[in-house]
Every structure is written in structure tokens, then in C-alpha cells.
Amino acid sequence: MSLKEEFVALARQSGSNKRQLCRRFGISPQTGYKWLKRYEESGQHGLQERSRKPASSPKLTPVDLETDVVALRKDHPAWGGRTISYLLEKRIAPSTVTNVLHRHSLIQHVERGHKATQRFEHDSPNDLWQMDFKGHFSLSRGKCHPLTLLDDHSRFNLAIQACENERGATVREKMIEVFLRYGLPHRINVDNGPPWGSPRNPGEVTELTIWLIQLGIRISFSRPYHPQTNGKIERFHRSLKAEVLKGKHFSTLNEAQLAFDQWREVYNLQRPHQALDNQVPMDRYQASPRSYPEKLREPEYKPGDVLAKVYHSRFRFQKQYFSIAKGLAGHLVAIRPHPDDEGIFKVYFCHHLVRTIDINNA
């Protein structure tokens, strides 16, 4: 400030060489004449340093749009910049949404998504459903075990059921409700945990999966220790945890179910998905034409099949006994020779390959 004052005082003297003074003070002529003009307009106050911030900013986010961003984030704390931008019809860029959220302290840390390196998707709705439990959490009394079903093609959530346990009978009851509303899928993928699998014997069927096979549904099991096989439902569970369960406590199953139902409507009908080109799941889902049957049909096998009845957890074939899943007790299985390997036979229940046996090494 003192240098500016000295320069102005000397430059305003009669007969002063202003350009020479500029050189001596190490400033450009433009700066020197600017200081003189400001002094003439505002006196000594005009020599004070001025803010470089523009008086107005055409790029500043409109107040009403910023309010909409904040409102959406508060209603849905897990939604990021891309989702909010799309819901606001792209009137605001995702990066600007993130800046707004930072200004309002609605982002406490750097939020990074889990980006898949490659996505696989079935061609049509109901080609494949994924099913699993989302762990469990405590209630005021007892526990809640959320059962979830997801359509692979559309990401449509067919159900989030608040169950009091993870028993096969409970799952069957909930699945009948789903089948009556949406029909039957061609295939369901599950992990090897109960009630649909066996951790000790991956791929082994249980009473629950046997019932599904009898309905004409193909069953596949995830690779052990590879949860990405059921990747879409794993991603769904992360959203469920972040948007519904985090920081919440539910007293009863009914209270939890109400929260699930409300969020399910948002997930299926309102929340755009980047993997679906920002469509919502309902835009891509259609109910299955295969209806839930009132009565199970008896298995039909090929004319050349050898049939054997399962007792407890084994069956008899060519005077030898072979082990098999105990859930098949009382059912007939079909034994077919392997076309290329003599002595090797494949054992089927309905359309499902149960196991392979070698009568030479029994």
C-alpha cells in the first residue's frame, strides 16, 4: 500500500514523467495509470486491493436447482451425482451436483462406486433370477432375515421379504407369493448355503431346490467363494444396506417390511440405473408367461432311462449302492449311460443332473 501511495504522490506532481516512474517502481504503465485512475475516483481507499471475484457469475447454480439437489440427496442419502443429475433431467451436470453436495456438507468422504470390469446380462426378463438372503439384523425382539429376488435382465426386484428365519419352508411360502404374481422364471441362481444348497457339498440339492426343479425351473449354483457369480444381487444388497438399513433400527418384522416396500417402489419405479442406460427396472421387466401350477406334475423320463428310488440318502443300481442328496428320499431318479465313457452314468432328477457315478470304481 505504501508503494502505491508513493507512486501516486510522485506521479501527480506537476511535470512528472509517469512512464519513467513506472519503470523505477517495477510496474507496467497500465498498472500505473490504473492506480492513478482509482485514486482520482475513490481517493486513498481506491488503492486498496480489490477482490478478483466477479460481481456476478453466469455459471453459478440457480438457487431453485440447488434446492432440488439438496432435497433429493436428503431423501435418498446414497444417491450420487449421476443419479440426481438424471432425475433433474440433466439440467445440472453430475460434477456440479457433487460440488453442491460438498457445499452443503452432504458428502462426508469421497464416495466411490464399485465399477464392474465386464457386465453379463441375459437377453430377456425371467431368463434368470438371482436369489439370496441379505444377512440378518436384530430387531427389538428376534432377528430379520431379508430374502431378496432379482431379475437378471431388468434388475427388477421381485421381492424383499422380511423373514424371521432362513428355513426352506419360509422361503417356499414367500416364493409362492412371487410366482403367483410374476409367474415362473426359466432359471434361478443361488449360492451353496442353506436352505437351497450345502456348503460341504457344493451343488447338492435340498428339499427347497427339489421343489423348484419339480416346477420346471432350472437351478444353478454360484461357484464357492465367488459371490460375483450372483453379482447383481450383491450390488442390490449394497444399495439396500446404504439406502434402507444404514443407521436404522426396526422394532418388528412388519416395521422392517414397510420400509422394504417403500424403498422397493423407489428402486423399481423411480431410481434410474446406469447399467440400464438410465432406465428404471420396470421399463425393462415383463411378467413371465409361465404360470404357477396348482399341482406338481410327476417327473417324465426318457424311455431308455433306468429308474431307481432313493431311500434315505442312497439308491441301488447294478447291485451297488450310491450316495445321493438326502432331500431326494422317496423320489425316483433316472440313470443314463454316458455316451462316450463305458461304466460312467449320469443321474437325473427331472431335468436336473444330480450326480455322475462310475460303476467300476464304486
C-beta of residue 241 within 8 angstroms of C-beta of residue 210: no
- Could you write out the three-class secondary structure of 64-109? HHHHHHHHHHHHCCCCCHHHHHHHCCCCCCHHHHHHHHHHCCCCCC
What is the full DSSP assignment across 44-70? GGGGSPPP-S-S--TTSPPHHHHHHHH
Q: Residue holding cell 432435497?
A: 71
Give the predicted TM-score (pTM) of the model.
Answer: 0.69
- If one counts every other C-beta atom within 10 angstroms of the C-beta of residue 245, the result is 20
Give the three cell numbers for residue 266. Answer: 423407489
Domain boundaries, the chain: 2-47, 63-103, 129-283, 306-361
Q: Where are the alpha helices (DSSP H) in 183-329?
A: 207-214, 231-240, 253-269
User: In this structure, how many other beta carbons lie within 10 angstroms of the beta carbon of residue 180?
Assistant: 10
Enter the C-alpha cell of residue 36: 492513478
The whole-angstrom separation of Cα 132 and Cα 189 is 9
Question: In tens digits, what is the pLDDT along the chain, a chain of 362 residues?
Answer: 567 887 888 888 888 888 888 887 788 989 889 989 988 888 877 777 666 565 555 566 776 666 776 676 665 665 666 676 656 655 676 666 666 676 666 665 544 444 444 456 778 999 999 999 998 999 998 999 999 999 999 999 999 999 999 999 999 999 999 999 999 999 999 998 899 988 888 889 999 999 999 999 999 998 766 655 677 899 899 999 999 999 899 999 999 999 999 999 999 988 888 777 888 888 889 999 999 998 898 888 999 899 999 998 999 999 999 999 999 999 999 999 988 888 899 999 999 999 999 988 86
Q: Is 261 helix (H, G, I), strand (E, B) or coil?
A: helix
Q: Report d(CA 18, CA 9) in Å as an integer.
A: 11
Burial class (CB in 10 A: 0-12, 13-18, 19+), 191: buried
Q: Could you tell me which residues are beta bridge partners of residue 349?
A: 352
**CATH 3.40.630.30 holds for 129-283:** no
d(CA 359, CA 337): 11
CA angle 97, 103, 109 (to 5 degrees): 80
Query: What pLDDT is attached to residue 362?
Result: 65
Look at residues 291, 361, 302, 359 and name the one whose alpha carbon lies nearest to residue 333.
Answer: 302
